[in-house]
Amino acid sequence: MELFVVMLLASLSTVLGVMIAFLFLYRSDRRPWRSGAPFRDSFSGISRSFRRPLPFSVPTRWMAVRGATPSRIREVLGDRVGVYSGWADALARSRERSLFVSPALDGWTLVVGAGLPEAFQDVDQAFHFLRKASEALGEIHFYSADRVLNFHTWARLDNGRVTRAYAWAGTTLWNEGRSTLEERLLGLRCRAYGEEVEPVRFGEHSPEYHNTDRVVLLARRWSIDPVAASEIIVHQDEVAERGRNGPDGRSDDPATE
């Protein structure tokens, strides 16, 4: 009888332990983590009426830099940095072989442009570029998502050290560091080097399609949502432009009259 009670208590403890674990994962998913600290989505308090939907899609690859000022980032990237008239202009020109640096937002700065190396073209070049940038700037993140080919990359570096990276282009090109909690919560599948790819049944999506579709969600949990950030920056540019032109839409600068 005593043995039965002990076994019953052990089973109850196991069930309670599993329930607590699932509760922890659920709370973590609802409140994503960033850099080991609870994620604070500063955009959630901004009304949609103060954001402007972009007339074009966000570039397929971008870099997010934490802490460093835009001027410092431009200094490090050197003559590859292009000049633009506003963030909407930078996004529209992101296919150019230049780099465009955004204003800082919530401690993060975005870098877009075809001047960013692509892992599926040359993974070694991408690695060396990101490592060198991280040595100079500190914490940087790189994301890429090609929705046509389902090629994708995400990489996180801190002071030149890769803490997590994964790149896929028909095969695994880069898989470094341990899979993070955010990746597991999003259901991202990272294949080992040389892992055989199983055929996909008709009507189903491959894990690579799933990964590509969720790169932006991973960026939001790790760093900053490029879509929401770009909408806010474009709106800030519009407000600044209206301020320069005055309340009646005419320029306050007599030289422009």
Per-residue pLDDT band at 49 (split at 50, 70, 90): very low
Over residues 110-134, mean pLDDT? 96
**Distance in angstroms (rounded) separating the CA atoms of residues 4 and 11:** 11
**Distance in angstroms (rounded) separating the CA atoms of residues 59 and 202:** 30
Q: Which two tokens stand for residue 204?
A: 């189903």
From the list 134, 123, 232, the residue with the least C-alpha distance to 176 is 123
Over residues 185-202, mean pLDDT? 92
**Distance in angstroms (rounded) separating the CA atoms of residues 91 and 74:** 17
Per-residue pLDDT band at 33 (split at 50, 70, 90): very low
Spatial contact of 90 and 100, defined as CB atoms under 8 Å apart: yes
**Distance in angstroms (rounded) separating the CA atoms of residues 231 and 163:** 29
Q: Kindly provide the b/e burial profile for residues 76-103, where b requires at least 16 CB atoms within 10 angstroms of the residue's own CB.
A: bbeeebbebeebbebbebbeeebbbbbe
Per-residue pLDDT band at 204 (split at 50, 70, 90): confident
Element (H, E) at 106: none
Per-residue pLDDT band at 54 (split at 50, 70, 90): low
Per-residue pLDDT band at 241 (split at 50, 70, 90): confident
Domain-wise residue ranges, the chain: 58-192+205-247
Strands, E, within the chain: which ranges? 33-34, 37-38, 61-66, 100-101, 108-112, 139-146, 151-158, 161-168, 172-176
Per-residue pLDDT band at 257 (split at 50, 70, 90): very low
Per-residue pLDDT band at 245 (split at 50, 70, 90): confident
- What's the whole-number average pLDDT of the chain? 83
Spatial contact of 184 and 35, defined as CB atoms under 8 Å apart: no
Q: Helix, strand, or coil here: 186?
A: coil
Per-residue pLDDT band at 225 (split at 50, 70, 90): very high
Per-residue pLDDT band at 30 (split at 50, 70, 90): very low
Q: Kindly provide the b/e burial profile for residues 32-57, where b requires at least 16 CB atoms within 10 angstroms of the residue's own CB.
A: bbbeeeeeebebeeeeeeebbeeeee
C-alpha dist (Å) from residue 148 to 118, 156, 187, 209:
15, 24, 20, 9
State yes or no: pLDDT of 238 exceeds 70.
yes
Over residues 225-240, mean pLDDT? 92
Question: What is the predicted pLDDT for the residue at 250?
Answer: 56
